[in-house]
Amino acid sequence: MTSERIVLPNLPQNDAPEELLQQYGCGPIKFNGSNNALYERHLLFDNALPSSEVGNRERYEAAARSVRDILSQRWQQTDQAYNQENPKRIYYLSMEFLIGRSLSNNILNLRLEPLVGQFLKENQLDELAILAEEPDAGLGNGGLGRLAACFLDSMAAMQLPGMGYGLRYEYGIFKQTIVDGWQQEQPDNWLRRPDPWEVARPQHAVTVELGCSFEVRGGNLKAITGAPSKLLGIPYDRPIVGYGGKTINTLRLWASAAPNSFDFQEFSAGEFVSALAESLTAETVTRVLYPDDSTSMGQGLRFVQEYFLVACSLADLIRRFRMNNSDWNNLPDKVAIQLNDTHPSLAVAELMRILLDDAALGWERAWDITKRSLAYTNHTLLPEALEKWPLRWFELMLPRHLQIIGKIDRLLRQEAMVRWPDDQGRVERAAVIEPGGGLVRMAHLAIVGSHSTNGVAAIHSRLLRDVTVRDLAELYPERFNNKTNGITPRRWLLLSNPDLSNCITNAIGDRWITKTEDLERLKPLADDGEFLGAVRMAKRRAKLRFAEWLKSQAGIRVDPDTIFDSQIKRIHEYKRQLLNALRIVALYNRIRENPHIDMPPRTFFFAGKAAPAYHVAKLIIKFLNNLADTIDGDPATRGRLQVVFIPEYCVSVAERLVPASDVSNQISTAGYEASGTSNMKFMMNGALTLGTRDGATIEMADAAGEENFFLFGLTAEQVAASQGWYSPWWHYENEQETRAVLDLILSGHFSRYEPVLADAMRNILLTGGDTYRHLADFTSYMEADMRLQSLYAKPQDWTRMVVRNLAGSGRFSSDRTISEYASAIWNAKPCLVP
């Protein structure tokens, strides 16, 4: 594997608005004598409304359509350049793309900001109100989906011929409200109004064949055997603007529909309506995103969704390959397919089917081409989250794929038997089809059928190889590698934190936007009093802006002169929001016991969704809300401690809260968080990390220097070694503060009329064995928190540490991650668009 770096293009230098429009192929277009012709036209004509009835939603649509007009020629030119140059293309297959909003991001990447600023001023428009009209495209659960979106941004910025393939869910991740402290879910009908960013391409629709038909019963699919059926996949394209606007790549999302050829002649007149109604069943396939929830596994509809994504995307990319290439043997030289977790791992069987049955290649050829074209990324070690699908479903829906998987399994077992002739147990452990259980192990299928398997942080890749799939890693050691995650600095610093961005640019110039290694040049400025003052000022502005937004959105007042201490991510036991709660209760106790104690005032922020069927996670949300209410209502801690649970966590909320945070909590049980990516967002926005040695946090501390991190707790090795003997009772009985905190919680202090809550906490933290080691790490968490409190008392020292973190954060740009994928896995090169 080579590790040659791809060099990003330099920033375009022509900043004059007119030249920019020229560059995108749009000369000045006058309408009614106005320079804002595009916008005015869309505003007047698209909704056929009199100007008296135009509101911010219409203004948003007109603005977005204008931006799309501006980018559309460049978008086509990108496509043409790829068709002419015929470069090796990268296809990122993912069930999730957590995009968030696009208008401000596209304006930023097209570098249209001066133009838009001028325009808003001339027309006296409320920019924030207009931007807020765009719904978040919430087509993902969390980290895995947001990573896919950051990767698309980086590929476009680096002028790589990359394309995303996903599903056009009608309903994204559910909307969260909090009622009496409990999470309630509402459907996210994000397409209620037309989405200006998508372009339907019905001419490229694809037909998908299944071995049976379906009815929808009780919210799930019921198979009707012996009646093969077809689905139509209709592509909807979204532009992915690379920074500088040179390359505009495509995210292609598939919507399911009943096939065109639906033969109404076969139905008598009386059956016309019922025949049409069947098309509704076809459309259910892409109706809704499944919430990440280990227990929801085993849903038939999810299985069909996964196959639908794979079948549509492979048919599409093979069609494109065949336009320019005649020899199937060249597929791996022209196509790299990256599987985002096992969710699209049916691609192994589907590509084999195409090569065997459509291209009529022999098994050996087909198998070699398949492996060299595919690569797999793993995002979790939790055994309960590794996908396994029943053989029975393959029999029903994908009988040909089952034959192929059966043969892959037999050949793998033969190979394993040659390697370990006396160890049948090992052979069974390596197999694709689980012994006895009648289940297909999708991770094994992905590893066997691809040339690369990577984890998403160094520790995760090591545990994956040495523990989780050890046997396969010994069979195919050369396939295993690490690609530490990253985030795009365009959305997560330049766009979301203008104050800090300006401060950085004033100090070191703006090359960091595409070359984040440049942030290292901030290091010497950690001793520059003037620069530290500027950073402190920028942080303060971000906090003020956030406080204002929170007041206007949720009616919650927070004090920007307190430490903003945040934990925002999916609610999961292993992420240990409850450990954070224990810390807050301890601080609360300390103030109540000693009202004169010297402690900096703090505001604790929580935000995150619980999977609707994850009962314990929902209890955790309830507990956090009770904690917030109790502390709010207690005069003893007023003005000193405040706890806020922000409902409806999403990309747009993160874009506001991350820049305003002083402290980032990354406190998962070591060995459980594959990487984390919000940890990187906080680091790049000038927050200090309180964290365990888990995921990418380890590498972040390494990059900034451990002395600039507040690390605490058991290591992954210590967690694993304590498996046999760990007991939370020891900590309860021997640690005074641990006991005081638990006693207060179990007394019902935070759950007066809700005894079930205190019972649940007792079970999670004590009687149930404390699987996630909250009590084991509590004391050292408090010690780290004390170190952080003392540092805060010395503002100069605090900001110095912030700057050292910023200076070390450059490595966690997704540009770096993508350049490693491109050179070591994809062997792909930039393709310049003239």
Tokens representing residue 291 in the block: 């919430």
Does position 302 bind ligand 26Q by CB under 6 A?
A: yes
Does position 738 bind ligand 26Q by CB under 6 A?
A: no
Tokens representing residue 562 in the block: 């307190």
Binding mask 400-439 for ligand 26Q (x = CB under 6 A): ----------------------------------------
Distance of CA 160 to the CA centre of its chain: 21
- Cα separation of 403 and 363, whole Å? 12
Does position 290 bind ligand 26Q by CB under 6 A?
A: yes
- Shortest distance, position 380 Cβ to ligand 26Q, whole Å: 6
Stretch that binds ligand 26Q, among 177-185, 536-544, 674-682, 745-753 (CB under 6 A): 674-682
First to last CA, the chain: 30
Please say which residue, 24 or 614, places its beta carbon nearer to ligand 26Q. 614
Please say which residue, 197 or 394, places its beta carbon nearer to ligand 26Q. 394
Stretch that binds ligand 26Q, among 38-46, 312-320, 667-675, 817-825 (CB under 6 A): 667-675
Alpha-helical regions (H) of 228-385: 272-283, 300-324, 331-334, 347-353, 363-373
Binding mask 25-54 for ligand 26Q (x = CB under 6 A): ------------------------------
Pairing of strands 213-217, 220-224: antiparallel
**For 309, how many CA atoms within 13 A lie in the half-sphere containing its CB?**
31
Stretch that binds ligand 26Q, among 292-300, 727-735, 761-769, 811-819 (CB under 6 A): 292-300
Query: 781 and 587 in contact (C-beta within 8 Å)?
Result: no
Tokens representing residue 2 in the block: 């080579």
- Shortest distance, position 703 Cβ to ligand 26Q, whole Å: 17
Return phi, psi of residue 541, to 5°: -60, -40
677 a catalytic residue: yes
Does position 297 bind ligand 26Q by CB under 6 A?
A: yes
Does position 673 bind ligand 26Q by CB under 6 A?
A: yes
DSSP 189-228: -TTSS--TT-EE-GGG-EEEEESSEEEEETTEEEEETT--
Exactly one of 144, 317, 542, 547 binds ligand 26Q (CB under 6 A); that residue is 144
Does position 62 bind ligand 26Q by CB under 6 A?
A: no
Host H or E run for residue 167: strand 162-167
DSSP 420-433: -TT-HHHHHHH-SB
- Given 247, 677, 689, 799, the catalytic residue: 677
- Given 68, 146, 238, 570, the catalytic residue: 570
**For 812, how many CA atoms within 13 A lie in the half-sphere containing its CB?**
33
Stretch that binds ligand 26Q, among 24-32, 67-75, 380-388, 398-406 (CB under 6 A): 380-388
- Given 483, 569, 583, 773, the catalytic residue: 569
Does position 456 bind ligand 26Q by CB under 6 A?
A: yes
Binding-site size for ligand 26Q (CB under 6 A) equals 22
250 a catalytic residue: no
Stretch that binds ligand 26Q, among 243-251, 255-263, 273-281, 296-304 (CB under 6 A): 296-304
570 a catalytic residue: yes
569 a catalytic residue: yes
Closest C-alpha to 290, from 309, 313, 277, 267: 309
Return phi, psi of residue 152, to 5°: -60, -40
Query: 139 and 170 in contact (C-beta within 8 Å)?
Result: no
681 a catalytic residue: yes
Exactly one of 133, 195, 387, 573 binds ligand 26Q (CB under 6 A); that residue is 387
| β-bridge mates for residue 319, sequence order | none
- Cα–Cα distances (Å) from 57 to 41, 133, 698, 737, in that order, read 15, 5, 44, 53
- Shortest distance, position 823 Cβ to ligand 26Q, whole Å: 20
Does position 143 bind ligand 26Q by CB under 6 A?
A: yes
- Cα separation of 461 and 455, whole Å? 4
Return phi, psi of residue 335, to 5°: -140, 125
- Shortest distance, position 392 Cβ to ligand 26Q, whole Å: 17
Query: 100 and 60 in contact (C-beta within 8 Å)?
Result: no
Does position 296 bind ligand 26Q by CB under 6 A?
A: yes
Host H or E run for residue 591: helix 577-593
Exactly one of 676, 713, 808, 830 binds ligand 26Q (CB under 6 A); that residue is 676
Stretch that binds ligand 26Q, among 48-56, 307-315, 398-406, 672-680 (CB under 6 A): 672-680
The residue ranges of DSSP E strands in 242-360, in sequence order, are: 248-257, 335-340
- Given 68, 681, 804, 811, the catalytic residue: 681
Active-site residue set: 379, 569-570, 575, 677, 681
Q: Give the interface with ligand 26Q as residue ranges (CB under 6 A).
A: 141-144, 147, 290, 292, 296-297, 302, 379-380, 385, 387, 456, 485, 673-677, 695
